[in-house]
Amino acid sequence: MRIVILCFPFLAALVLAGCGSTGSDDTSATYTSSYIQLYNGSANSTSTRLTLTDSNDSSYLAGSATYTDTTTLVSYAAGTYDIALSRLNSAGDDVSIREDSIELKQSYKHLLLLAGDYASPDLLSLAFLRDDSLTDSFKLYVASLLSADSAYDVYISDSDASFADASLVATVNYQQISEPLEFTLGSYIIYITEAGSNDVIFTSSSYSFSYLTEYVLVPRIASGPLQGNIAVDVINNTTTVTHLTDIAATAQFRLYNSVDSTDPTDIYLNNSIAFTSLSHDTFSDYLQLDAADYRLSATDMEGNSLLKNALLTLNQGESKAVVLFKNSSAVVSSIVVEESNLPQIYDFDISVVNVITDYPSLSLYFVPPNETIDTTEYYITSLSQGAHTDINLPDGEYRILLVYTDGNKNKVLLAESESEQFVAGRNYLLVAEPDAADYKISLLH
């Protein structure tokens, strides 16, 4: 498989790119505009905006993409544009990430792939004529964001076949993009090996290539709490990126014990001990497990059952947190939340759980310095007892207020945290829970 370099006048700072094999004068009768899309593959990034400015100094926001996501596919008139990649800081100001220029060609799709360290990112480019002659097939590119230390082979096989029957799609180094190969529409399994090896290090579940179009596979090292696993993103012309995980990848979970009245507690999975003598107000370490459905149970130190056969489902590459609590009937129960796989650097996905049963629902306010609950943009208006939700917060400092609003719209402050500054790279769980005397907010990581 031949690796090619830039085929249109991007600045030299743009690194390796793949191109279709069509001539520069080719156009399509179906796709008459020029098309551009941004994929965010920078593992320590945040939501990144793509803005184009034409020769008349008119600027257009093409969209934004979080890590492992894409913008929409946007059409523009052919021509040369300045492009700017930026992010919004906690004050709502636009912060420049990098600037370049690009020539958008008629009937071509231009896929930009942000990669590397977000402080000084690389920008890869793939440009190809959109093929309107496909009748029962699709085209497949590979853009590698795997380790820079090795080259990798990427294969596919029919979904009912094995690796022995797989076809080599590409051999790629870090930040290289292959030329396309054409395959018949259908369901396929994707495999990855180190270059020249037959030892498979990644096997996907079956994926259906069902559109007459060009697909781009992006193998990468997964981030988040299970960082180090290999994943493959599948990009086409929609805003939906499919994330394929290794069918052999492990999963993990950790458990927070908020039950004050029974201390300590033993936690079991499928009748095997998972955590011994877990005290109240304690967040366990992660326990890595095979992907499966598990029966979660708990007993007190005398062996009396507290919780029996709660279902914990762990899929490949998932990280989950479980909160043990007493429900409104004073029966021990559990809440399971899935932890984010996003980088948690410039902004944070906070999982929020309410185990207070004295009120039908509560509100939480995340208040930056010099603001109040009336001015902050970050809040959860109504979280029912035994429920959970997520909130995304820009990096910054916050006081967290737990509030009950009665039927007359009078507010009662139940608990308040000190000013909190989130630490980059950590996954946070916030639990609103009863305390010995009143209520409290537990921010856990």
| CATH, residue 255 | 2.60.40
Q: What integer best gives the mean pLDDT of the chain?
A: 91
User: What pLDDT does 135 receive?
Assistant: 95
Residue % of the chain over a pLDDT of 90 = 83
Same domain, 50 and 144: yes
Q: How far apart are CA 220 and CA 154, in angstroms?
A: 12
Q: Are residues 64 and 207 located together in one domain of the fold?
A: yes
Q: Which of 9-23, 223-237, 297-311 has the lowest mean pLDDT?
A: 9-23
Please give the residue range of the domain that contains residue 46. 17-245
Over residues 33-56, the mean pLDDT reads 95
Judged against a pLDDT cut of 80, whether residue 226 lies above it is answered with no
Same domain membership, residue 116 and residue 65: yes
Per the CB < 8 A criterion, the answer to whether 104 and 33 are in contact is no
359 located within any domain: yes
Choose the final residue of a domain: 307, 339, 371. 339
pLDDT tops 70 at residue 2: no
In a domain, 278, yes or no: yes
Residue 256 belongs to some domain of the structure: yes
Q: Is the pTM of this model over 0.85?
A: yes
Between 159-173, 217-231, 298-312, 404-418, the lowest mean confidence (pLDDT) is in 217-231
| Model pLDDT, residue 24 | 45
Same domain, 21 and 63: yes
The answer to whether residues 191 and 88 belong to one domain is yes
Q: Between 311 and 263, where is the model more confident?
A: 311
Instruction: Write down the pLDDT at residue 261.
Output: 82
Evaluate whether residue 7 is within a structural domain. Answer: no
Confidence check: pLDDT of 329 > 60: yes
For residue range 56-95, list pLDDT tens digits in order. Answer: 999 999 999 999 999 999 999 999 999 999 998 877 889 9
> Is pLDDT above 70 for 247?
yes
Residue 10 included in any domain: no
> Does one domain contain both 354 and 437?
yes
Question: Which CATH number belongs to the domain containing residue 389 in this structure?
Answer: 2.60.40.1120
At residue 223, the pLDDT reads: 76
- Domain count of the chain? 3
Last residue of a domain, one of 222, 245, 268: 245
pLDDT surpassing 70 at residue 242: yes
Residue 6, domain member (yes or no): no
The verdict on 32 and 157 lying in the same domain is yes
Q: Could you report the per-residue pLDDT of 195-218, keeping only the tens digit for each?
A: 999 999 999 999 999 999 999 999
Q: What percent of the chain is modeled with pLDDT above 70?
A: 94
In a domain, 287, yes or no: yes
Q: What is the pLDDT of residue 25?
A: 58
The reply to whether 389 falls in a domain is yes
Residues 309 and 390 in one domain: no
Cα separation of 52 and 59, whole Å? 6
Mark whether 177 and 266 lie in a shared domain.
no
Verify that 156 and 35 share a domain, yes or no: yes
Write out pLDDT tens, residues 410-444: 999 999 999 999 999 899 999 999 998 899 999 99
Confidence of residue 162 (pLDDT cuts 50, 70, 90): very high
pLDDT band at 157, cuts 50/70/90? very high
Residue 18: its pLDDT value, please? Answer: 43
Do 41 and 188 belong together in one domain?
yes
Confidence at residue 26, expressed as pLDDT on a 0 to 100 scale: 86
Considering 181, 211, 245, which residue would you say is the last residue of a domain?
A: 245
Kindly state whether residues 75 and 221 are assigned to the same domain: yes
